[in-house]
Structure 1
Amino acid sequence: MVGTAVHARTLQRRLEQLVDVTWPSSPLPETARAVYLKAAASSDWPGLIALAKQQRRDARSALGLITRLQEKVRGTHRDIATHADDLLAGWVRPDRRADWPQVRAQLVATLKPQTGVAKAEALADDFGATTARAVKSRMEKPVADLDEFLANSAEQWRAALVGARLAEAIAALNTRRPRPLVPGPFGDDIVSPLAAELNDRLTQLCDTIGSSDRDAIRTNARSLADWARGTTLDDTVRRAVDLSVARRDVASRWTLGPAAQAAGELIRNLILAQAIGLTVEEAALLGGDNLDRWRAASALPLPNELGPGQDVTLAQLKSNPATFDGDDVFVSGVVGQVTIKHVRGKVLSTASLLDEDGLSLTVGIEHIKLDSGGLDEGAYATVAGRYVADDPVFNHTPILRVGRHSYEDEGEHSFLAAATHLTRWVVTPVPHGLRYVSSWERGLSGANNQLRYGTWLPFERRL
């Protein structure tokens, strides 16, 4: 009897701890989207920075609170598992107790005015058949529901945090003063060494995830997220600024294009790395299925390529279109004007891709706006998809139909694809999983389109 009382008091204290807390508010992503949209649509970069900093502070505070609450909830889970069996060891089904006929009659009489006789008798019989296992399940369910609520709240706040950092990076892209580029084939390139270091850090994280040391996983994940923001992201954005301004010179649009594209790709990968670090850190804290999914992903090779296809030039496609008809190809060039048409209720989005010899190719997709992820006029991009020599949907013109990633399927072979899928409710580096990489360009459009269209937010995902 004394042991039962101890178990009951332990569970009671745990439940009281959960009640006596200040619960985190919701980040209200719809409101955040509206606020960002207003600033982004009006090019109010100082206002955007102020909004993003406040959102970042709120997110960090909320995530810290949620982590403490999650630890309490998990502690309650453990206590139920430890003490509930002992507490219920003497449980006897109500319908097997000597006083059950009297108890049942009282239950039916109490319920009958609200439910009717048949329903009252059925409810009483259900109660009479309650087993110790059912009682334990009913004790566990509210705690499990609370755990799920906190996990969902944490995911929303991680999205708010990463979105705030994306907003700050876009504002910095549009406010930083450009510096003159150092002449030479590589100039003052910082992108290549940072991209190599990012790969090294991701590989190290994968190795750590594969271990059983959850503290080491948390430390490594936090280190990745911290490194991917701050100076690393700031220096990469500065490089994108310099290249974006330098490429306004017509002669430099193509010569500096690959370097600008590499900077844009690194920025997106750094944003993704922050999402990976934040998500893995929580998975290591809580364990369970989420950590198991990351462990499975960590055993895969790192690369996440554009997908199947061969690298071809516009000249090759123009000279012999029939050879490539129906093939998956990669094509690079400067993006021309993006056009969006509504034809018989269907959105058709197209853009031209230009090379330095004046050749052009139309790239297009149905149902999706190509510029929603930053593929906008003036950007340098590599686009992957299926080449169609005579496409009836696009007015019988030769076209490169932009492909789309299936990160869930590709995640069976690539850690980065799996990580993009596992963090899809936190950030999407390229919205809709479109198969292209492009430079980050200044202005109302360009990189800013992810804020203008709101495509970094969970409820806008199309993966």
Structure 2
Amino acid sequence: MDTSFAKWVHQYIHVVFQHAQKELRYHKEYQKDQSKQLKGRRLWGRLSKFENHVSYMKQINSESWSSLHSNAKEEISDHLHALGELSAKQVTVTELYNDFPDLRFAFGKAVAPSSRPNWTQERQRIYQLAEEKGLDKEKIETGLKYLDTYDPKKELKNIEGIVVNMYERLHLDWLRRTGALMGSRFAELVASFNLVSTPTPDSSLLPSLPAEISKKLTIINQVETEIWLSLKSKEGKTILQEKIRLLKEQTEEDIHSFTIPRLDLIASLRKENPQDPSLGNLAIEIADLARRQLQAQALADTLNWALDLEGKVLKEWIKAAQAATCYETKYQWPQPVPIDTLLASPQRYEGQDVVIEGLVKEVKIEHKGKERKVISTALVAGDTSNITVSLPFIKLDSGGLVPGAWCRLAGTWKGSSKDALGEPALEIDRIPYTKLGKESFRDWLTNQIAPIFLRIPHEIAGTWSWQKGSNGAANPLKYGVWCRHERSSKRGRR
């Protein structure tokens, strides 16, 4: 091994252990101070995204929208600053992670001292030199015993464990912090929606609204498709980052200039006629646009991080892009059936997957059995009849499905549903993004960014309009379900 390479190896190991010591001190300080508060926030960056919803809950319940809005903007600034610090760490960690194969090569050439043919003589010589320098005999013997048992392969494994742990922990820290950031962005959007008020809603804007919404969604789909194709063909980092920048800038501008005013317009018009299907469908479309715009921002942040972090995280994105056969979702919505038609011929649809639409009249959350299993039921109104929908293990209202909302839900029709105490009900489905993501890139990225943002909470096969007030669009913040909870049960998922 030449001298320059040996120096590089020494420097690499020095940086690894220096960084590891900093991380150790960091964690000790975090554990020591994690219960302390500073202006209502955690002192350290390793906060859980779910620590936010406690403060959100208070402001939402009291409908303090101005306070929620200003706090959200301040938190966005704090999160971006903390993410900048993580990015500074990322440079060192990525370099160590990417250079590890060279270290493995170096250690592959190393030989354990005890396996050298003349080790006994060399050991004695080292002892004598150490004595001549006045070193303590006990310390000399301790050092030599370490050399007696030193194994380069074990040392390499130890260093590899430290480097991989630093890489994975940094990524986890980024996910937690970015999950909190997306919560703050969502909070700003919901607060703005509740703050804006149109005294005289302009219904003349309605005829052009579907086409305008479609145009906004088309732009998002086009840029995301280009991103997928760029990853699939392994285009350069600069090209990808430019597409990501365009996606983020476009959605940020549209949210404030278009989406929030239109959300308010539809909400205002629906006050007078909540059971109007055409207004209900428009309400769903504009709410879905808001969710897609937030999801696009989460995608932009996540992919930008993967491009910088490189290594295993970026390889996952490239592998998924190359494995996908299409961009669009592979989820197939079942046949839509009017509620009155379904209830008029319930046996005809027994066990079939269908989609129903209507106005949510009420939502009930019950705990059943010894395990106190959560069962959600909701009453959805059609033209002249009401239908019950049910979902186990999940509180439906936590995602914003509340009385007054217009909903579109997919599920299996049962003439006797256990979850509805034997009454007829539509048992709501959940979308299996993990399975669908093997073919669809959009489904894969929905699942991939779920730890920081979920377009529809709990992967429910449905969508619904946004309602103003303390029980409505803000509920995912209030209950901490704007992203996939790390401890959430997998029961009910396909």
Normalising by structure 1, what TM-score?
A: 0.86
Taking a change above 3 Å as real, the CA distance of residues 81 and 395 of structure 1, as seen in their structure-2 partners, is: closer
Q: Indicate which of 317, 323, 339 corresponds to 1:314.
A: 339
CA positional deviation for 1:88: 6.9
TM-superposed CA distance for 1:375, in Å, is: 0.8
Partner of 1:347: 374
Name the counterpart of 2:128: none
In 1, are the aligned partners of 2:436 and 2:443 still within 8 Å (CA)? Answer: yes
TM-score of the superposed pair, with normalisation by structure 2? 0.81
CA–CA separation in structure 2 for the residues paired with 1:324 and 1:127: 76
> How far apart are the structure 2 equivalents of 1:306 and 1:338?
26
> Alpha-carbon deviation of 1:99?
4.5
Cα 1:42–1:459 shift into 2, 3 Å: farther
**Secondary structure of the corresponding residue to residue 451 of structure 2:** coil
**CA separation in 1, counterparts of 2:121 and 2:351?**
77
Instruction: Tell me if the contact between 2:390 and 2:426 (Cα under 8 Å) persists in the aligned partners.
Output: yes
Select 1:272's aligned residue among 282, 286, 295: 295
More deviation, 194-203/326-335: 194-203
Change (3 A) 1:334 1:239: same
Shift of 1:209: 1.4
Please report how far the alpha carbon of residue 211 of structure 1 lies from its aligned counterpart in structure 2 after TM superposition.
2.6
Matched residues in 2 for 1:363 and 1:393: separation? 9
Residue of structure 1 in register with 2:227 after alignment: 205
2: distance between equivalents of 1:248 and 1:385? 28
Cα displacement (A) at 1:50: 1.8
Q: 2:398 — aligned with what?
A: 372
Cα gap change, 1:232/1:249 in structure 2, threshold over 3 Å: closer, same or farther? same
- 1:409 Cα offset (Å): 0.9
Moved more, 161-170 or 266-275: 266-275
Q: What is residue 452 of structure 1 aligned with on the other side?
A: 478
Q: How far 1:237 moved relative to its partner?
A: 2.2
For residues 225-284 of structure 1, give each alpha carbon's deviation from its aligned partner in whole angstroms, at most 9, with x where no partner exists. Answer: 333224335521221111011101126632301111001111111121111111111122
Partner Cα separation in structure 1 for residue 52 and residue 72 of structure 2? 9
Q: Give the C-alpha shift of residue 143 in structure 1.
A: 2.1
Within the candidate set 264, 271, 274, 1:241 is matched to 264
SS for the counterpart of 1:386 is strand
Measured in 2, the distance between the counterparts of 1:193 and 1:462 equals 37
Once residues 125 and 408 of structure 1 are traced to their aligned partners in structure 2, the CA distance between those partners, rounded to angstroms, is 52
- Check 1:222–1:21 CA distance in 2 against 1; reply closer, same or farther (3 A cut): farther
Answer yes or no: is the 8 Å Cα contact 1:326–1:388 preserved in 2.
yes
Deviations 1:379-426 (A, max 9, x none): 111100000123244233221111111211121232222111111211
Q: Please give the alpha-carbon distance, in whole angstroms, between the structure 1 residues aligned to 2:221 and 2:462.
A: 20
Aligned to 2:455: 429
Give the whole-Å Cα distance in 2 for the aligned partners of 1:150 and 1:100: 44
Secondary structure of 1:183's partner?
helix
Contact 1:7 1:87 in 2 (8 A): no
- 1:180 aligned onto 2:201: yes
SS in 2 for 1:248: helix
Q: Give me the whole-angstrom Cα distance separating, in 1, the residues matched to 2:206 and 2:289.
A: 19
Describe the shift of the 1:226–1:19 C-alpha distance in structure 2 as closer, same or farther (beyond 3 A).
Answer: farther
Provide the residue aligned with 2:427 in structure 1.
Answer: 401
Q: What is residue 154 of structure 2 aligned with on the other side?
A: 134
The 3 A distance-change label for structure 1 pair 7 and 45 is same
Alpha-carbon distance change, 53 to 240 in structure 1, aligned in 2, over 3 angstroms: same
Q: Distance in 1 between matches of 2:457 and 2:120?
A: 62
Equivalent pairs: percent with the same residue? 24
Supply the distance in 2 between the matched residues of 1:253 and 1:290 (Cα, whole angstroms): 47
Contact in 2 for aligned 1:390/1:396 (Cα 8 Å) = yes
Structure 1 residues without counterparts, runs of 5 or longer: 105-123
CA gap 1:43/1:9 in 2 versus in 1, 3 angstroms: same
Give the distance between the partners of 2:265 and 2:154, measured in 1 at CA: 65
- 1:155-304 paired onto structure 2 within 5 Å: 155-178=175-198, 180-183=201-204, 186-189=207-210, 190-212=212-234, 213-232=236-255, 234-250=257-273, 253-298=276-321, 299-304=324-329
2-side partners of 1:131 and 1:146: how far apart? Answer: 23
Higher mean displacement: 79-88 or 251-260 = 79-88
Q: 1:280 corresponds to which letter in structure 2?
A: L
Change in 2 beyond 3 A, CA 1:12/1:391:
closer
After TM superposition, give the deviation of residue 53 of structure 1 in Å.
1.2
Judge conservation of contact 1:228–1:274 (CA < 8 Å) in 2.
yes
Q: Distance in 2 between matches of 1:226 and 1:185?
A: 26
- The answer on whether the counterparts of 1:338 and 1:352 sit within 8 Å (CA) in structure 2 is yes
Query: What secondary structure, in the 3-state scheme, does the structure 2 residue paired with 1:437 have?
Result: strand
Task: Report the Cα distance in structure 1 between the residues aligned to 2:151 and 2:18, rounded to whole angstroms.
Answer: 28
Secondary structure at 1:226 match in 2: helix
Note the aligned Cα RMSD (angstroms): 3.0
**Counterpart-to-counterpart distance in 2, 1:184 and 1:222:** 30
Q: How does 1:68-87 map to 2 (within 5 A)?
A: 68-82=88-102, 85-86=105-106
Q: Distance in 1 between matches of 2:307 and 2:265?
A: 39
Change (3 A) 1:404 1:252: closer
Change (3 A) 1:4 1:294: closer
Alpha-carbon offset, residue 87 of structure 1: 7.0
Contact 2:283-2:465 at 8 Å conserved across structures? yes
Whole-angstrom CA distance in 1 between matches of 2:391 and 2:17:
55
Are 1:166 and 1:271, in contact at CA under 8 Å, matched by a contact in 2?
yes
SS at match of 2:387: strand
Cα distance in 2 for partners of 1:454, 1:51 equals 17
- Work out whether residues 432 and 461 of structure 1, in 8 Å CA contact, stay in contact via their aligned partners in 2: no
Mapped contact 1:275–1:427 kept (Cα < 8 A) = yes
* Deviation larger for 127-136 or 190-199: 127-136
Tell me how far apart the structure 1 counterparts of residues 154 and 15 of structure 2 sit (CA, whole Å): 20
243-252 or 369-378, which moves further after superposition? 243-252
Which residue number in structure 1 is paired with residue 386 of structure 2? 360
Query: Aligned equivalents of 1:95 and 1:450: distance in 2?
Result: 62
Cα contact 1:219–1:281 (8 A) shared by 2: no
* Contact map agreement 1:222 1:281 (CA 8 A) in 2: no
Distance 1:86 1:397, change over 3 A: closer
Q: 1:306 to 1:173 in 2, by over 3 A?
A: farther
